[in-house]
């Protein structure tokens, strides 16, 4: 290489990786996650001035129990961790709701269809569920549950159908379409809340059928409602496995992946692209609608505009990070929910407000997104001497770069 050449040769070159071993890609992700945890730890320490190890102990415990202040024999106040089954179930329940939405998004995303309308699809599913709980009186539990599942999925499917239909026929931008559908769903929810308001003037629906628990998803291991959320787990895991099989082994799943890779290829291969768009979006919406059922009948037993609570958006990131693999989504949903609970635990025990959990979620997601770069690309540094091709330095890279990110995330 001559000097003149060198002047034009950039110090760092970026090139696409052909292939990366599984363990290496997970190593990069784990490094990214650890860095994210360090940064969020620093943020929390700056706010609360507590021992950084205590931060993680508290965060880890947030999903399993709570710290209760006790006085020991010597008269000092010590905090004791109390494990609570109830809390563990609540954590599992929240993981399942987030997972269900993420799984619902998988078919659409595999088709490169940006369904950012999960928030709305969950809400209409929830509205449909509440309507069943209110108006279909006198059915046996099992029948009612099945009816609610069908109706909520239908509502979600309708909400997914419209953007799919317009995208298929007129190539209407689906990101913006589904975004608008969210707000329409939110207003419909406000309307229904006003209609179902109980007690009048409270501007909320209140817990529905509190006395007879009609339409509540029962507990799996006991007769007491809300004791456990086993049915939530069963329903969501069935969907998770089903979508995995659907995407990977069915003909329709194959069509989805071809359309996702290239619409022109799909057309050339004789796949009816319009049909695939509409069908897949209806399925995606239906599963998000089911998540609305799980959130209402299986968890809150009420409806409000915050029933989806931003999870429709978080799920998008979960689905994206999991690369449409529904089993990876279990891990990521669990991670996000556990962190969220942990941050809330810290917030409540130090009297800071609960939005700190959103900040931490944001930081973690930024790092996980950033680490994808080091999985897909490699950095090649300029070699001044040799003529040999520069060697890739995959593993050191994330550390160097995520440093940059820290600075920005902190600003």
Partner 1 sequence: MDLTSFLTLFHSAVVFGTVILFGALGEILTEKSGNLNLGVPGIMYLGGISGLTASFIYENGNPNASGLVSALLALISAFVFSALGGLLYSFLTITLRTNQNVTGLTLTIFGGGLANFLGGMLQKFSGGVGQVKVGKAADTFGIYIKSIAGTDTSHPLYAIFGYGWLTYIAIAIAIAIFFFLGKTRTGLNLRAVGENPATADAAGINVTVYKYLGTCIGAGISGFGGLYYTMNYIGGTWANDGTIEALGWLAVALVIFATWRPINAVWGAYLFGIAYWAYLYIAGLNRHTLELFKMLPYVVTLIVLIFVSLRRKKEDQPPAHLGLPYFREDR
Measured between alpha carbons, how far is 37 from 395 in angstroms, rounded to an integer?
19
> Which one, of 301, 297, 303, lies nearest residue 141 by Cα?
297
Q: Does the protein bind partner 1 through residue 265 (CB under 8 A)?
A: no
Measure CA of the first residue to CA of the last residue in the chain; give whole Å: 41
Measured between alpha carbons, how far is 237 from 222 in angstroms, rounded to an integer?
20
Nearer to partner 1, 205 or 363 (CB): 363
Binding mask 385-404 for partner 1 (x = CB under 8 A): ----------------x--x
Nearer to partner 1, 26 or 191 (CB): 191
Nearer to partner 1, 30 or 80 (CB): 30
Q: Does the protein bind partner 1 through residue 188 (CB under 8 A)?
A: yes
Measured between alpha carbons, how far is 308 from 90 in angstroms, rounded to an integer?
16
Backbone angles phi, psi at 12, to 5 degrees: -120, 130
User: What SS3 class is residue 171?
Assistant: coil
Q: Does the protein bind partner 1 through residue 106 (CB under 8 A)?
A: no
User: Computed from CA positions of residues 314, 317, 318, 324, in that sequence, does the dihedral angle turn out positive or negative?
Assistant: positive
Shortest distance (Å) from residue 197 CB to partner 1: 9
Nearer to partner 1, 298 or 394 (CB): 394
The binder of partner 1 chosen from 17, 65, 263, 372 (CB under 8 A): 372
The binder of partner 1 chosen from 102, 284, 357, 378 (CB under 8 A): 357
| CB burial readout 94-108, b (16+ within 10 A) else e | bbbbbbbbbbbbbbb
Measured between alpha carbons, how far is 34 from 29 in angstroms, rounded to an integer?
9
Q: Does the protein bind partner 1 through residue 42 (CB under 8 A)?
A: no
The binder of partner 1 chosen from 7, 73, 195, 387 (CB under 8 A): 195
What are the DSSP calls for 343-398, one per residue? HHHHHHHHT--TTHHHHHHHHHHHHHHHHHHHHHEEEEE--SS-SSPPPP-TTHHH
Total residues found in the chain within this entry: 411
Q: Does the protein bind partner 1 through residue 177 (CB under 8 A)?
A: yes
Nearer to partner 1, 136 or 166 (CB): 166
Taking CB under 8 A as the binding criterion, the range among 131-139, 180-188, 206-214, 246-254 that sits at the site for partner 1 is 180-188
Residues that bind partner 1 (CB under 8 A): 14-16, 114, 116, 166, 170-173, 175-177, 179-184, 187-188, 190-191, 193-195, 310, 313-314, 316-317, 320, 352-353, 355-363, 365-366, 369-370, 372-373, 376-377, 401, 404-405, 408-409, 411
């Amino acid at each position: 290489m001559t000097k003149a050449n060198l002047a034009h040769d950039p110090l760092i070159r970026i090139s696409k990786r052909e292939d990366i071993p599984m363990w290496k890609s997970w190593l990069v992700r784990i490094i990214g996650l650890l860095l994210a945890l360090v940064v969020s730890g620093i943020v929390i320490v700056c706010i609360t001035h507590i021992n950084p190890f205590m931060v993680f102990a508290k965060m880890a415990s947030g999903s399993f129990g709570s710290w209760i202040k006790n006085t020991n024999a010597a008269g000092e106040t010590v905090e004791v961790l109390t494990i609570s089954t109830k809390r563990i179930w609540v954590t599992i329940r929240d993981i399942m709701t987030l997972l269900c939405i993420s799984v619902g998004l998988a078919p659409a995303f595999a088709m490169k269809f940006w369904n950012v309308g999960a928030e709305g699809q969950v809400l209409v599913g929830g509205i449909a569920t509440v309507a069943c709980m209110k108006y279909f009186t006198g059915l046996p539990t099992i029948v009612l549950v099945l009816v609610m599942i069908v109706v909520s999925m239908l509502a979600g499917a309708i909400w997914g159908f419209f953007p799919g239909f317009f995208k298929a026929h007129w190539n209407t931008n689906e990101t913006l379409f589904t975004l608008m559908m969210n707000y329409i769903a939110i207003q419909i929810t406000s309307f229904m809340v006003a209609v179902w308001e109980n007690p009048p003037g409270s501007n909320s629906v209140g817990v529905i059928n509190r006395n007879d628990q009609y339409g509540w998803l029962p507990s799996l291991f006991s007769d007491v409602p809300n004791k456990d959320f086993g049915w939530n787990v069963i329903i969501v895991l069935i969907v998770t496995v089903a979508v995995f099989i659907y995407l990977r082994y069915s003909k329709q799943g194959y069509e989805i992946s071809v359309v996702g890779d290239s619409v022109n290829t799909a057309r050339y291969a004789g796949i009816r692209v319009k049909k695939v768009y509409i069908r897949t979006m209806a399925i995606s919406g239906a599963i998000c609608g089911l998540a609305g059922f799980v959130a209402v009948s299986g968890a809150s037993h009420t409806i409000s505009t915050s029933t989806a609570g931003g999870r429709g958006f978080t799920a998008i990131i979960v689905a994206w990070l999991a690369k449409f693999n529904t089993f990876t989504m279990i891990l990521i949903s669990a991670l996000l929910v556990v962190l969220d609970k942990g941050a809330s635990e810290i917030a409540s025990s130090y009297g800071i407000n609960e939005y700190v959990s959103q900040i931490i979620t944001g930081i973690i997601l930024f790092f996980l997104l950033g680490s994808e770069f080091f999985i897909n690309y490699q950095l090649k540094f300029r070699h001044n001497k040799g003529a040999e091709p520069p060697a890739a330095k995959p593993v050191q890279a994330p550390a160097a770069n995520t440093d940059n990110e820290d600075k920005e995330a902190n600003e």
